[in-house]
Amino acid sequence: MGSFGERLQREREMRGITLEEIADSTKIGTRSLRALEQEHFDQLPGGIFNKGFVRAYARYLGIDEEQAVADFLAAAGEPEQPLPTPVPRARPASSSSAGRSWAAVLALVVLAAGGFAAWKYKVGPFAGRVSQSESAGPPPPVVPSSGAAAAPAASDQTASPAPAAGVTSGSDAAATPSAAGEGFVVLVRAKEDCWISLSADDRTVMEGTLLAAETKEVRATKRVVLKMGNAAGVEVSYNNQATPPLGRPNEVKTVVFTSEGLQP
């Protein structure tokens, strides 16, 4: 059978494919592809990047991706990620419990109706006895004899001062994600085919090849992590502001964005 790297190389050579052809299609550097075949795993970027490289390599050759990843993990001595434990769903209330609840509500309604009827019976003879002061209503307002009273009324209608320069109004504040408390936005655009891994607030959004002229936008409140197989092949903007170039051609690079922008 041979080792993991030998099997990859044998499958590639059986199909007459060169490392350069795989690198051109997957945008993974030939150095990383050769490190896979020679099992020099210390030369790889690590983490999900390694499994992404193996998947892209296997997909190009047309072999089983999951089996290739499993063989890689065994060769590299890395444990497979455990599946998340399912959360048990809450059981709906039984029909007998619902029936008891409705019976209790009905009993409360009956008691309330009986109490109201008893109160109505007791206060009935006295309902029409309203004092003269109560029936007369509030005293009429005093009308001032001069026009001096117009000043306080005018003060009540004083227009609110206009906002100071540089202060954003409520409607304008909602236009930007940070002012509305919605986090920040990172937009990734591929200038050429490039393998990327993109996560927002520790949730993986994309892992694969972003084709030339394609874009991927994510919104986050804490942080965005972008990993690239070809740092010069992508353009990135933060809240519609372009960032400086992130790396050299075929350079494997990882960058992090937070609410404060691109982190050093």
**Tens digits of residue pLDDT in 205-250:** 998 888 888 999 999 999 999 988 888 889 999 999 999 998 888 8
Is a pLDDT exceeding 70 seen at residue 84?
A: no
Structure confidence by residue, pLDDT tens digits, 54-83: 999 999 999 999 999 999 999 988 765 544
Whether residue 216 contacts residue 206, with contact meaning beta carbons closer than 8 Å, is answered with yes
Q: Band of the pLDDT at 92, cuts 50, 70, 90?
A: very low
DSSP string covering 192-229, please? S-EEEEEEETTEEEEEEEE-TT-EEEEEESSEEEEEES
**How remote is the C-alpha of 251 from its chain's centroid?**
28
Cβ–Cβ < 8 Å for 4, 75 = yes
Interior/surface letters 113-135, b for 16+ CB within 10 angstroms, e for the rest:
eeeeeeeeeeeeeeeeeeeeeee
CATH number of 4-76: 1.10.260.40
Would you state the pLDDT for residue 162? 44
Name the residue ranges covered by the structural domains of the chain: 4-76, 184-262
